[in-house]
Amino acid sequence: MEKRIAVTGFGALCSLGATAKEVWDNVCQGKSAISHISNFDVTAYRTRIAGEIKDLEAQLHLSKFILPKDVKKLDNSSIYGLIAAQEAMDMAAIPENYYDTWRCGTLIGSGIGGLRTMELQYDRLISGGPSRVSPFTIPKLIANMVCGNCSIRFGLHGPSYAAVSACASGAHAIGAAIDMIRLDRCDMVLCGAAEAAVTPLSFAGFCAMRAMSERNDDPQRASRPFDKDRDGFLMSDGAGILVLEDLEKAKKRGAKIYAEIVGFASTSDANHITSPLSDGLGGAMSMRFALKEAKLNPEQIGYINTHGTSTPLGDISEVNGIKAVFGDYAKSLPISSTKSETGHLLGASGSVEAIFSMFVINEGIIPPTINIENQDPECDLDVVPNVAREKKVDYVLSNNFGFGGHNATLILKRFMD
């Protein structure tokens, strides 16, 4: 009998809040995370706004366990991941010695890793020579170190590695965690992703691509997925971490189960380094395979949390993919993009949005796509414009796609014993 996958804990943070519930409540209220960048000089940049975590000291105070002496050893991506992981582990409340720690995994990704560390240490190298470079440089910047630090923090000795697939990293990390439990290699896995890529080099690169919105005078209305006047995505920093367990073992210890994950699939467009297929075929096949694994008909999905980045091509491609999979039902199926509130958390998007999907199931609220003023006729689905909606939902599908043609789809289910 195939093992069932329970979510027993989760944590998230971004510029909308320091906990998963705070972020979720602000998303449902239609608040925007986007503001003017203050951590570096953006005068010469086309885009000067982002979802920036401005008060790192406050985040460290909340963490309680990251000491000032430890900060110099950690990139912000690891700090965000550790804070979200602590929230998730506290929520899961797994009794000490309940699991063999050699059967507890840590699969946490990052789309970019410690980019700011790389920038700062390169500046030191150029200005002062190699002796000025910190000995913590490599352990801070490598993309697997969010995972490594969380494994060390919680003493998890099982499989430990990072999923790196651009903006699909968090979803792929969750998918790998599901496999570890179903294959009986783990009983519990800490999984998700963290990102701290609002940095000068990252911003310069995305600006050079003309990928981000240039609505600098109106930051809170700049991210507008599915709106005809969208002009690009907006970057954000943060993390989303989940605790997955073998359902039967979680039930045995009396754990609160927030949702089951019943479907996961991933595909590749195999087409272009940044542009999606215009017909959305790669995403469509990912959705089809996830539905097949979950043994569901399309009509059983009650809501889709879309990738919905607010890019001109990406939004249309995803809508076309949804239409191909859901047919006539697509017209009555509510979909929305929470990136309109949070901005684009890059690698952490998939795990943060999986957490939002659980809130939809448990609270019966579908978050809105904000800033819909003139809905694109090519995105002619029910995008839940501007105002959250009450609806009981038993199954949620969540999409995430990344540069390189990576596609990932998760399906979450209301827990019904």
Alpha-helix runs per DSSP H in 142-280: 145-154, 169-182, 200-209, 247-252
- Asked if residue 196 lies in contact with residue 174, where contact means CB atoms within 8 angstroms, the answer is no
Residue 68 binned pLDDT confidence (cut-offs 50, 70, 90): confident
Report d(CA 375, CA 385) in Å as an integer: 9
Residue 62 binned pLDDT confidence (cut-offs 50, 70, 90): low
pLDDT in tens, 210-238: 999 999 999 999 999 999 999 999 999 99
Which of 150, 186, 191, 344 is an active site residue?
344
Residue 245: CA count within 13 A, CB half-sphere: 28
φ/ψ of 319, rounded to 5, equals -60, -45
Angle CA 405–406–411, to nearest 5: 140
Report d(CA 56, CA 196) in Å as an integer: 12
Residues 342-357 have a mean pLDDT of 98
Residue 65 binned pLDDT confidence (cut-offs 50, 70, 90): confident
Q: Could you tell me which of 213, 202, 192 has the C-alpha nearest to residue 105?
A: 192
pLDDT in tens, 281-317: 999 999 999 999 999 999 999 999 999 999 999 999 9
pLDDT in tens, 71-117: 889 999 999 999 999 999 999 999 999 999 999 999 999 999 999 99
Give me the pLDDT at residue 61, please. Answer: 60
Angle CA 359–62–48, to nearest 5: 75
Strands 104-109 and 160-161: parallel
184 vs 159, 180, 258, 306, CA distance in Å?
Answer: 12, 6, 22, 31
Q: Which residues contact 52 (CB under 8 A, 6 or more apart)?
A: 15, 35, 37, 38, 39, 198, 236, 237
Q: Does the annotation mark 167 as catalytic?
A: yes
Write out the E strands in 255-334.
259-268, 303-305
Give me the pLDDT at residue 287, please. Answer: 98
Report the mean per-residue pLDDT for the chain. 96
Report d(CA 87, CA 110) in Å as an integer: 18
**Amino acid letter for position 352:** V
- Asked if residue 397 lies in contact with residue 326, where contact means CB atoms within 8 angstroms, the answer is no
Report d(CA 76, CA 238) in Å as an integer: 9
Which of 150, 186, 207, 307 is an active site residue?
307
Which of 147, 167, 207, 379 is an active site residue?
167
**Amino acid letter for position 204:** A
Cα dihedral across residues 319, 323, 325, 328: positive or negative = positive
Report d(CA 328, CA 331) in Å as an integer: 6
Grouping H, G, I as helix, E, B as strand and the rest as coil, residue 75 is: coil
Q: Does the annotation mark 307 as catalytic?
A: yes
Give me the pLDDT at residue 146, please. Answer: 97
DSSP bridge partners of 188: 104, 245
pLDDT in tens, 140-167: 999 999 999 999 999 999 999 999 999 9
Which domains can be identified in the chain, with CATH numbers? 5-252 (3.40.47.10), 264-413 (3.40.47.10)
SS3 of 295-310: CCCHHHCCEEECCCCC
Grouping H, G, I as helix, E, B as strand and the rest as coil, residue 410 is: strand
pLDDT in tens, 233-242: 999 999 999 9
Tokens of 183: 């294959």
Write out the E strands in 56-141.
104-109
Grouping H, G, I as helix, E, B as strand and the rest as coil, residue 334 is: coil
Residue 168 binned pLDDT confidence (cut-offs 50, 70, 90): very high
pLDDT in tens, 360-417: 999 999 999 999 999 999 999 999 999 999 999 999 999 999 999 999 999 999 998 7
- Asked if residue 108 lies in contact with residue 169, where contact means CB atoms within 8 angstroms, the answer is no
Give me the pLDDT at residue 67, please. Answer: 79
Q: Classify burial at 1, counting beta carbons within 10 Å of its beta carbon; exposed 0-12, middle 13-18, buried 19 or more.
A: exposed
Angle CA 173–175–179, to nearest 5: 115
Give me the pLDDT at residue 390, please. Answer: 98
Residue 36: CA count within 13 A, CB half-sphere: 7
Give me the pLDDT at residue 60, please. Answer: 63
- Asked if residue 408 lies in contact with residue 351, where contact means CB atoms within 8 angstroms, the answer is no
Q: Does the annotation mark 36 as catalytic?
A: no
- pLDDT top residue among 190 and 54: 190
Length of the chain: 417
Backbone φ/ψ region at 405: left (φ over 0), alpha (ψ -120 to 50), beta: left
Say whether pLDDT at 271 is over 80: yes
